[in-house]
Structures are given as structure tokens and as C-alpha cells.
Amino acid sequence: MKADLSDLNAFVAVARAGGFREAARLSGSSASFLSEAVRRLEAELDVRLLNRTTRSVVTTEAGQGLLERLGPALTEVEAALDVVNRFRATPAGSLRLNVPVSAARLVLPALVPPFLAAYPDIRLEIVAEESFVDVLAAGCDAGIRYDERLEQDMIAIPIGPRNQRFATAASPAYLDRHGRPQHPSELLGHACLLGRFASGALTSPWEYERDGEVVRVEPTGPLIVRVGGATDLSVDAAIAGTGIICVFEDWLRPHLDNGALEPILEPWWQRFSGPFLYYPGRRLVPAPLRAFIDFVKASANRA
């Protein structure tokens, strides 16, 4: 009995993803390629590994047993191959990062181009989404998250600005029409532009702090957008005079600088810690990820 390593990898990818399409998205392969690989493996082993329906794909008892033994074994294979990679003049291979849209927009642009220039043999894939996922289960090597959303048993290093603020702003035209709030509580009388996380929760209450006084307000308004993917729409609406927006200061900075948006309640803007690059501490760090970690640390030292 002889099973091809690529077929085994395909089975693990599909079993972990719970479907061929999702596994194809995560692995960069096609669903048809994965389906053929799993069919070939089942034929070779003469046992069904996956139960397929129109809605889901789940492991059989035999498939679950194989998955539990294969996972650690394939990790060891990857680690063994990576030992060889360390003898190269420059690291090579793939690096897959799971990051929030805000990090893809505000943190990575300053790092990715020079990193890829320094390591031309590394292929970097960025998966940007706001849902909180297990980076390993999602087929990623590492992720970027803010402190309150870091997973346990992970190693975390700072990446990007260490201090950030939530900025509140509106167009000068809107403020000329409706007035300029002097206290956070006055936001309740204004049209505010809100966001909704993938979990379904709204980006409210908005929180402010000044001289030890903390104020939380739950504004309402005419527009709610998905956090991350549709935030630019909310920014455009604010510039057009639709209402007041509250997002990362760095996201609004170009529009604040050119006057398209006017800051509101700036002495009250709340600061928070910047994001972290995090990765599992219980296994050998792949060479491409090690190169990225070292690059991030060096960039922080130069800043």
C-alpha cells in the first residue's frame, strides 16, 4: 500500500477546511484537483475517508483516525524540509499571514515591498479578514491581531505603530450645518456612521477619555458598513457630508491633512496599543516566517 504525499496533503486540507472549495481557497489549489487527489487516495487505501453531501464534507471514522495521525506527521515533514531551507543563501518558500483589513491597509504597506525585495525567493500571501480565526486551522503560518484578540500559547511581537488612536471626524460642510460637538454626549444628536463586525456586533459604544473622565456613547445614524472591507465607503460618506465617522486615526489622516475631514473632540480621542505579529510557539518556525520576524524586528529598531 503506497499513498502519494501530495494526496495525503490534499486530504488533510479538505478535512480541516470542511469542504473542497474552502480547502482550495486556503491552499491555492483547485477544488477539482483536491477532489481527484482524495478520490485517488481512497482508491489506494480502499476505504472511504470523507462523507460528501451538497452542503458539507465530514471525515468518516477511518478518515478522522487518519487525520489525527497525519497532522503531526506532516508537520514533522515540513519541519525536516525547512531544516534544509536554512542552508540556502536566502530563505525560500511560502509565507501565509492572516491579518485584519486595517493591518493590510495601515501596517503592511510599509513592510511588504521592502521585505519581498530583500527575500525574492519567498512567496507571501496575505489573507485579510475581520473574523477571528485559528491561524493554523486556516492554513496560515502567522497572523496579526491586537492585544485583546491574541490567542493563548502564541508568541507575539510588536508590528507597526505602537500607539494608535480612534479619530472622530466629519466634513466641514456637515459641521457647518449641524454644529461642532464639544462633548462626546453631544454625538447623540448627530448622524453617525457605524460599522459592524463579522460577528454581528456594532462598533458602538464609542468611547472617549479626558482627564480621567471616561464617556461611552451609543450613537445612531443612516449608514452601517462591514468593518474592514467597507470602511472606505463610510469614509467617503463622511467626506460627502453624510455624518460623523469614528475609525483609526491613520485611516483618516490623509483626509484630515487635506481638509476633507475636520477632527472632532480630539482631546478626547482614546489611545490603544498597536498590533502584534503572532505565531505558534510550540513548533519549529519555518524559514520564511523567521525571515519575516527578523525583518519586522529590524524595522522596529530603525524606526
CB 64 within 8 A of CB 33: no
Instruction: Give me the pLDDT at residue 133, please.
Output: 62
Which residue from 142, 151, 137, 128 is spatially nearest to 96, judged by alpha carbons?
A: 142
Residue 223 has pLDDT above 80, yes or no: yes
Q: Encode pLDDT of 146-159 as tens digits.
A: 865 556 667 889 99
**Arithmetic mean of pLDDT, 281-295:** 82
pLDDT confidence tier of residue 20, bands split at 50, 70 and 90: confident
The crossing angle, in degrees rounded to 10, of helices 31-45 and 20-27 is 110
**Arithmetic mean of pLDDT, 260-282:** 89
Instruction: Give me the pLDDT at residue 119, please.
Output: 92
Integer Cα distance of 240 and 83 in angstroms: 55
Q: Is 273 helix (H, G, I), strand (E, B) or coil?
A: strand
Residues 6+ apart with CB under 8 A from 291: 91, 115, 119, 122
